[in-house]
Chains A and B, each alone.
Chain A
Amino acid sequence: MTTMTGGTAASAEAVLDYDEVTSAFDPVLGLEVHVELHTATKMFCGCPTTFGAAPNTQVCPVCLGLPGALPVVNAVAVESAIRIGLALNCEIAQWCRFARKNYFYPDMPKNFQISQYDEPIAFNGWLDVEVPAEHGEGTEVFRVEIERAHMEEDTGKSTHIGGLTGRIHGATHSLVDYNRAGIPLIEIVTKPIVGAGERAPEVARAYVATLRDLLKALDVSDVKMEQGSMRCDVNLSLMPKGSSQFGTRSETKNVNSLRSVERAVRFEMCRHGAVLSSGGSIVQETRHWHEDTGVTTSGRVKSDAEDYRYFPEPDLVPIAPSRELVEELRATLPEPPTERRKRLQNGWGFSDLEMRDVVNAGLVELIEETVAAGASPAAARKWWSGEIARRANAEGQDVPTYAGVLGVTPAHVVELESLITSGRLNDSMARQAWEGVLAGEGTPTQVADARGLELVQDTGALEAAVDEVIAANPDIADKIRDGKVQAVGALIGQVMKAMKGQADAAAVRELIIGKLT
């Protein structure tokens, strides 16, 4: 069930210093990821699933839960669920059923959600993710065990009216759009992740990033966290060091960017740490994540599974995938993420740390596309992980999303690099051109034209400037003549200043040394 958005004004809760938390406690993580499949139609009816359609234009008697409507499962959604299970190294159920999860909330007009309960289609798997090595440098593989992956349907979208900024608190009524109700959803649940220690926030982020890359490679979902086609709930508890008895957990809902996953885990560790070390106890509850302030606030007290009164869905027959179908689908799986990462890393010539940063920043696809478009891997990494990443971070967004918002594409990086290699721009001019691109001033060439960015190719003007600077600095010139070549830096700086930065520093250096030695 989708919980309400927003929350009451965040009352400040005590947090313990992170180092103190990790020296006294071991975190236990559990991650639940909901991913919307990008099938053409919904899970149990033929309504389209187009994102952003006008409200209630993609609904029918089945997804509105009108009396007498009969759901029929989408064959492609079942196959996608099996492929996801196989890619996560799960066993695939020989036979399984859907179940009704009963609750009263207007996001589901039927008053229940069709889900799977004790018979998930896939179970007992694992996913290897890369995290910084515990001792020493480099990275190491951390295995996240998968409990289950099950099929269900998404819920409608509520907008709360009358409260502040769409929040439920103080709202007078709510408006519901059921376009999203019934979109196929796969919920992927990890087993408790223990042993991550102080790296728990990084493990959580690396898991979600790796899972996203895997789902993208499977081509089963758009996996756009900002549009909600991939959503993450973070379960966290602490146990005193040396104990193996799990503590009470909190469940932070709808943590919807890679960066937020890392921050939410860290925040909850510090909050739990403060409660426990002051002798208090953790309340088992749902928490809301606040992107702007980086804190969680208390939500509703978690319902017991019993309260949902699950029972087998009588309107749908069981799913019994034949072993032939399962093997057929296994043959369609993409390269496993760790192998793919190794292959790309070798091809790109990145170090372990460079590759880990690229993976955890969600840049793999973007760099792959940029290299495919003609850029060098080094340039692709440099431009995508520089200024734009800094700004995306400040906006609380992932780089690919942010680039999409700005309209910045791999082709821009290719063009920028070619402006450097063709000798038109030096590195600092390229940075200015890139800033212009990020500011929406057009392509790198358009920005360079508009801002008059161009290395001076006129050797006459350059030579004159060099001669002038040498004449104005006889002492430094003498040093260079005496073989102290490192003194050339001071002269290069002055020539560059005289040329208003529009000269190639390497060429200036060569010219000065040529004249003085």
Chain B
Amino acid sequence: MPRLLRMSELTRADVAHLASLARIDLSEAELDHLSGELAIILESVATVSSAPIEDVEPMSHPLPLVNVSRPDVVTPSLTPEEALAMAPEAEEQRFSVPRILDED
């Protein structure tokens, strides 16, 4: 799991990197502003780590359930028209997306 950033660790470069991973375009001014603001948010959230939880198992679900599954039986799919209805662009019964960042 990702490491938890402590305030002292959050650099302007970290914020720029996270923004690029989240595909959020930030201006230089916004980066300056958010670096400070995120640090404060992280610090606030970090107060939960002072809770006495040594004897508490970490949980990722609110309900004590395991092994919820379904049988391998086909159920109706959407029609292609329904599936593509919300696509901003479609072509040849496919979702049309902008040119993918050329990483080659």
A175 and B102 within 8 A (CB): no
> Quick check: A72 and B2 within 8 Å, CB to CB?
no
CB distance from A314 to the nearest CB of B (A): 7
Interface residues of A in 145-173 (CB under 8 A from B): 158-162, 167-169, 171-173
| B46-99, CB < 8 A from A | 60-61, 63, 65-80, 83-84, 89, 91-99
| B104 with A106: CB separation less than 8 A | no
Binary interface encoding of chain A residues 103-124 relative to chain B, with 1 for a CB under 8 A from any of its CBs, else 0: 0111001000000011000000
Contacts of B25 in A (CB 8 A): none
| A56–B83 touching, CB < 8 Å | yes
* Chain B residues bordering chain A, tally (CB within 8 A): 41
Q: Are B71 and A75 in contact (CB under 8 A)?
A: yes
Interface residues of A in 167-187 (CB under 8 A from B): 167-169, 171-178
How far does the alpha carbon of A158 sit from the alpha carbon of B65 in the complex, in Å? 37
Task: Tell me, in angstroms, the Cα distance from A109 to B78 when the chains sit together.
Answer: 15
Complex Cα distance, B96 from A168, in Å, reads 14
- The smallest C-beta distance from A381 to any residue of chain B, in angstroms, reads 38
Assembled-state Cα–Cα distance A77/B72 (Å) = 8
Question: Is A338 on the interface with B (CB-CB < 8 A)?
Answer: no
B104 and A6 contact, CB distance less than 8 A: yes
Is the C-beta of B1 less than 8 angstroms from some C-beta in chain A?
yes
Q: Do B65 and A317 touch (CB < 8 A)?
A: yes
Contacts A46-B74, A168-B102, A169-B102: A56 and B80 contacting too (C-beta < 8 A)?
A: yes
Chain A 1-34, CB within 8 Å of chain B: the 1/0 string? 0001011100000000000000000000000000
Q: Which one of B93, B98, B103, B104 contacts A54 once the chains associate, using CB atoms below 8 Å?
A: B93
Give chain A's interface secondary structure class: loop
Please pick, from B3, B70, B98, the residue contacting A72 in the complex, using a CB distance under 8 A.
Answer: B70
B84 near A320 with CB under 8 A, answer no
Q: Complex Cα distance A12/B3, Å?
A: 40
Residue A306 lies at the interface, judged by CB distance under 8 Å to chain B: yes
CB distance from A465 to the nearest CB of B (A): 65
B78/A60 in contact, CB under 8 A: yes
Q: B100 at interface (Cβ–Cβ under 8 A)?
A: yes
A41 engages B73 (CB within 8 Å) = yes
User: Interface digits, A33-49 against B, CB 8 Å rule (1 contact, 0 not)?
Assistant: 00000011100011110
- Interface: B29 (CB within 8 A): no
Interface size on A, residues (CB 8 A): 69
Query: Quick one: which of A104, A160, A175 contacts B23, CB cutoff 8 A?
Result: A104
Q: Verify A309–B72 contact, CB threshold 8 A.
A: no
Residues of chain A lying within 8 A (CB to CB) of residue B80: 54-57
- The reply on A299 being an interface residue by CB < 8 A is yes
Q: State how many angstroms separate the Cβ of A508 from the closest Cβ of chain B.
A: 63
B17-47 to A contact mask, C-beta < 8 Å, 1/0:
0000111000000000000000000000000
Min CB gap B79→A, angstroms? 8
A118–B1 touching, CB < 8 Å: yes
Which residue of the partner chain, among B1, B79, B92, contacts A310 with CB atoms under 8 Å?
B1
Interface contact A48-B77, CB-CB below 8 Å: yes
Out of A46, A57, A313, which one reaches B73, CB within 8 Å?
A: A46
Give the docked Cα–Cα distance between A209 and B7 (Å). Answer: 51
Bound-state Cα–Cα, A347 to B91, Å: 55
Per-position 1/0 for A60-74, Cβ under 8 A of B: 110010000000111
- In the complex, which of the residues A55, A77, A78 contacts B92, with contact meaning CB atoms closer than 8 Å? A55
Q: Are A106 and B92 in contact (CB under 8 A)?
A: no
* A349 contacts partner chain B, Cβ-Cβ < 8 Å: no
User: Are B100 and A105 within 8 A (Cβ)?
Assistant: yes
A164 CB, min distance to chain B CBs, angstroms: 12
Measured between beta carbons, the chain A residues less than 8 angstroms from B95 are 56, 106, 109, 175-178
Taking a contact as CB atoms under 8 Å apart, the answer to whether A171 and B99 are in contact is: yes
Q: Which of B1, B66, B74, B96 contacts A117 (CB 8 A)?
A: B1
Other contacts beyond A47-B75, A317-B67: 10, CB < 8 A: A46-B76, A48-B74, A54-B93, A72-B68, A78-B69, A102-B21, A161-B91, A175-B92, A178-B83, A317-B68
18 pairs, A vs B, C-beta closer than 8 Å: A4-B104, A6-B104, A39-B72, A40-B74, A41-B73, A46-B73, A46-B74, A46-B75, A57-B79, A171-B99, A173-B97, A174-B97, A175-B94, A288-B104, A307-B21, A310-B1, A312-B60, A318-B61
The interface of chain A, by Cβ under 8 A from chain B, is 4, 6-8, 39-41, 45-48, 54-61, 64, 72-78, 95, 97, 102, 104-106, 109, 117-118, 158-162, 167-169, 171-178, 288, 299-300, 306-307, 309-314, 316-321
